[in-house]
Amino acid sequence: MRSFSRARVVLATTAVALTAIVAACSSPPPPPPPVVQAPPPPPPITLSSQVIERASAFRGYMARAAAISPTFQNGDQIQVSLKVGAAYEPKSLMNGAVAYAAVMALQDPTFVASVREVAAHPAQRQEMINNIFSNPSYATVFKGADSAAGLIIDQLGGDGLKVYVAGKAVKQAAYDVQRSSWSKSSVSDRDARLASAKTLSTAPALAESADVAVLQQASLGGQTLGLTPRAAPAPYQPVVIRGLAVAALAALGAAGDNNLTSIDALSVDPATGSCLNMAKLNLYQCLAVSKPHYEDIFCLGQHILMDTGACMAKAAGAALPPEPPPPPKIETTVKTKAKKVVRKSTTKKS
């Protein structure tokens, strides 16, 4: 009887043990570790279509102005060239210069990659966007900013120098052409010619669709224009800094059409705007007193091409070539006439 009781105890104990083992084997597994959410991808590089059109319009005007030939054969050729050269509105040209500078900066792969590293972190990205809008110089802290600035200076400054050099050749033609008797004839309908220059100065230059497509592709980053960056040491001119700022905002995804108002405010450089406005005022005064054709050539060479080219070259930080003193005859005559016009205008106002 006792052995039977012991056997029952052993069996019961064994059953309890087996039940515990089975229960342990059937318990649920530990919960999996929490899933770490991957950060959202950075926004794409975005540059407003209107900014790209401004860049194209700027590039187109500078190319047309630089192509003005000094080989005039008659007064009609001079008037055509005057219309080509006068066809820009100062504020639009300045905004176009900044837009073009931004596209140039986006051609620098090191600069773009450095900005895109910040774009990958949402908090840092927004902080940098705010910093650049409040102070464009923040764009110069990125790696590659010096070589992106070099691209701007070389391209924007180079275009300005081409227009300036073309102006020197045209200005020299004002003296050389006096060997031809037709150049001493009076310009017909002088008032209409001055009015035309003023009207052309109020309309922004237009972009060409084919060129817009090229710059649109270039604005996405990458060296699609085949340019070679070179490091340019600071300090930089305001147009260069503003071009870097717009490019950085584009690489941060913050320069699209919905950001256009802020980009417009960022693209204003008072010094360049004042320089271009002064070139226009000097042109109007020059045309107001110019009578023979050769004096119109002087107005074209000096106040449209040389003055405008110098404004843009200086805006980029490019050095102007030294200029020898010109023959005094036309310049003295035109400037003396212009001063008389200014005096008469001042007297009437008083």
pLDDT per residue rounded down to tens, the chain (350 residues): 555 455 554 445 555 555 555 455 555 667 777 766 666 788 899 999 999 999 999 999 999 999 999 999 999 999 999 999 999 999 999 999 999 999 999 999 999 999 999 999 999 999 999 999 999 999 999 999 999 999 999 999 999 999 999 999 999 999 999 999 999 999 999 999 999 999 999 988 888 889 999 999 999 877 788 888 899 999 999 999 999 999 999 999 999 999 999 999 999 999 999 999 999 999 999 999 999 999 999 999 999 999 999 999 999 999 998 867 766 666 556 666 666 555 555 555 54
- pLDDT reported for residue 31: 72
Structural contact between residues 284 and 101, judged by C-beta atoms closer than 8 angstroms: no
| Alpha-carbon radius of gyration of the chain | 34
- pLDDT reported for residue 232: 95
In sequence order, the β-bridge partners of residue 255 are 47
- Contacts with 108 (C-beta within 8 Å, 6 or more apart), sequence order: 144, 147, 148, 151, 229
DSSP 8-state code for residue 164: H
What count of residues does the chain have?
Answer: 350
Residue 332: CB atoms within 10 Å: 11
Whole-model pTM? 0.82
- pLDDT reported for residue 100: 97
- pLDDT reported for residue 344: 57
- pLDDT reported for residue 336: 63
Residue 163, Cβ density class (10 Å: 0-12 exposed, 13-18 middle, ≥19 buried): buried
- One DSSP character per residue, 47-98 reads B-HHHHHHHHHHHHHHHHHHT--S---SHHHHHHHHHHHH---HHHHHHHHH
Q: How far is CA 144 from CA 105, 215, 236, 248, 332, in A?
A: 9, 21, 14, 11, 48
Picking from 71, 234, 79, the residue whose alpha carbon sits closest to that of residue 150 is: 234
Structural contact between residues 205 and 57, judged by C-beta atoms closer than 8 angstroms: yes
Angle in degrees, 0-180, between the axes of helices 122-134 and 238-251, rounded to the nearest 10: 160
Residue 332 tokens read as 């003295």
Q: What 3-state class would DSSP assign to 255? A: strand
Q: What share of the chain is helix, strand, coil (3-state, %, to 5)?
A: 70, 0, 25
- CA distance between the termini of the chain: 140
- Contacts with 229 (C-beta within 8 Å, 6 or more apart), sequence order: 107, 108, 110, 144, 147, 148, 150, 151
Residue 2, Cβ density class (10 Å: 0-12 exposed, 13-18 middle, ≥19 buried): exposed
- pLDDT reported for residue 321: 86
Residue 180, Cβ density class (10 Å: 0-12 exposed, 13-18 middle, ≥19 buried): middle
